[in-house]
């Protein structure tokens, strides 16, 4: 990387990111190249975004053709791609359902919170505004989604945050039941917690959450911004538990890198909204929707066995690596979404492992201080997985021989 690039960035960008000294210039499939022409295996996928792989020809063609035809009209007018994508998502979620489009996961979750309160006030009374979420959960960085995020360390800097949010331990159905009551508008959960370190809840937890919410006349909102769009081997992670939420949110992989978010709700819940209650100038624009439709074209066939097959290969490789790390090491996750947990007693931390892996041409990231996250494109092959495991093994051996 050019020695002056860090200084150039610091001079003109807000100091909100800490980045390693590499500038990527090109991507294809599961591989990236930097300014020096060095090749990397991308096993982070832009934080579980590039599910169809970098520069997938079908996605590129769809974006290019749509942009050359009609790039933007705003939501004051109809466009075909928006309705087509909404029809497809509603069908996959299970009709009757309706969709609101935005530009990011935080926006999708913001819309989910708003529709939940709009619906609950009409159904249960003006006092029904409470949102019960999970400790360790991450739902975004707008003020409302930050309030919903169960990471207290992130809150004080931007206080006061919107009121009405309660947090309970993730995976604890009894604690969830105790927190939900007549003034609860919705329970908001990730089916698998991403930023907490790919934490999978105990069996039956999502079904218990569904029953608890229904018992109290509250909605169940599932934040599938990171877990959705095929990441776990199913289009929606909640399909593993055969649970139907009232609202589900998507973003990240939905546009394969082109910004788009979606809030899908049952028709009954969606119809609580009225014109003017919520809006987005760019949300669901024709190019973003064309990108999402093409991405789904690529991803959905991969969910018919491919992701399960390569997932097993990746898990086996990580389990073998964990056995070398130490007795506290473990592997968490499913589909193509894993954390290699080094454990509190490990001789090295996740940051050091990620940095050494990058030096060896493997892109992963330290999702927590002790856990390394892997979320490669869903098009990854078994050979590429073997190559990535070898590079990660080399990094671990270098740091803790």
Catalytic residue annotation:
138, 223, 252
Q: Is the peptide bond before 96 cis (omega within 30 degrees of 0)?
A: yes
Q: Which two tokens stand for residue 151?
A: 């990471």
Phi and psi, residue 250, nearest 5°: -130, 155
Give yes or no for a contact between 317 and 249, defined as CB atoms under 8 angstroms apart: no
Q: What is the SS3 assignment for 174?
A: helix
Q: What is the SS3 assignment for 287?
A: helix
Report the candidate in 303, 258, 285 with the shortest Cα–Cα distance to residue 50.
258
Q: How many CA atoms does the CB half-sphere of 328 hold within 13 Å?
A: 10
d(CA 380, CA 231): 12
d(CA 295, CA 49): 11
What's the residue count for the chain?
A: 401
């Amino acid at each position: 990387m050019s020695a002056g690039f860090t200084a150039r960035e610091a001079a003109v960008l807000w100091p909100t990111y800490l980045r390693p000294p590499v500038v990527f210039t090109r991507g294809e499939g599961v591989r990236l190249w930097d300014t020096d022409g060095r090749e990397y295996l991308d096993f982070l996928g832009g934080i579980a975004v590039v599910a169809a792989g970098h520069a997938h020809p079908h996605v590129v063609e769809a974006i290019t053709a749509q942009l050359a035809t009609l790039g933007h009209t705003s939501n004051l007018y109809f466009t075909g791609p928006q309705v087509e994508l909404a029809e497809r998502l509603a069908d996959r979620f299970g009709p009757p359902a309706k969709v609101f489009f935005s530009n990011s996961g935080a926006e999708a979750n913001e819309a989910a919170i708003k529709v939940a309160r709009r619906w609950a006030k009409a159904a249960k009374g003006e006092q029904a505004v409470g949102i019960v979420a999970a400790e360790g959960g991450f739902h975004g960085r707008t003020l409302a989604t930050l309030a919903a995020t169960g990471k207290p360390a992130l809150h004080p800097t931007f206080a006061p945050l919107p009121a009405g949010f309660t947090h309970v331990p993730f995976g604890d159905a009894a604690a969830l039941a105790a927190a939900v009551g007549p003034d609860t508008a919705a329970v908001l959960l990730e089916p698998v917690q991403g930023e907490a370190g790919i934490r999978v809840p105990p069996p039956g937890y999502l079904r218990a959450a569904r029953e608890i919410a229904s018992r109290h006349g509250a909605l169940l909102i599932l934040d599938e911004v990171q877990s959705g769009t095929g990441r776990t081997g199913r289009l929606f992670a909640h399909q593993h538990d055969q649970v139907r939420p009232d609202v589900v949110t998507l973003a990240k992989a939905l546009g394969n890198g082109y910004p788009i978010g979606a809030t899908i709700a049952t028709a009954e819940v969606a119809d609580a909204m009225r014109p003017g209650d919520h809006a987005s100038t760019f949300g669901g624009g024709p190019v973003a929707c064309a990108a999402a439709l093409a991405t789904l074209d690529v991803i959905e066939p991969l969910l018919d066995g491919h992701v399960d097959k390569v997932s097993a290969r990746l898990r086996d490789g990580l389990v073998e690596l964990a056995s070398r790390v130490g007795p506290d090491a473990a592997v968490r996750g499913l589909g193509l979404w894993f954390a290699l947990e080094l454990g509190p007693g490990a001789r090295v931390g996740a940051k050091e492992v990620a940095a050494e892996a990058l030096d060896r041409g493997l892109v992963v990231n330290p999702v927590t201080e002790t856990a390394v996250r892997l979320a490669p494109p869903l098009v990854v092959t078994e050979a590429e997985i073997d190559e990535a495991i070898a590079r990660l093994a080399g990094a671990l051996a270098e740091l803790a021989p």
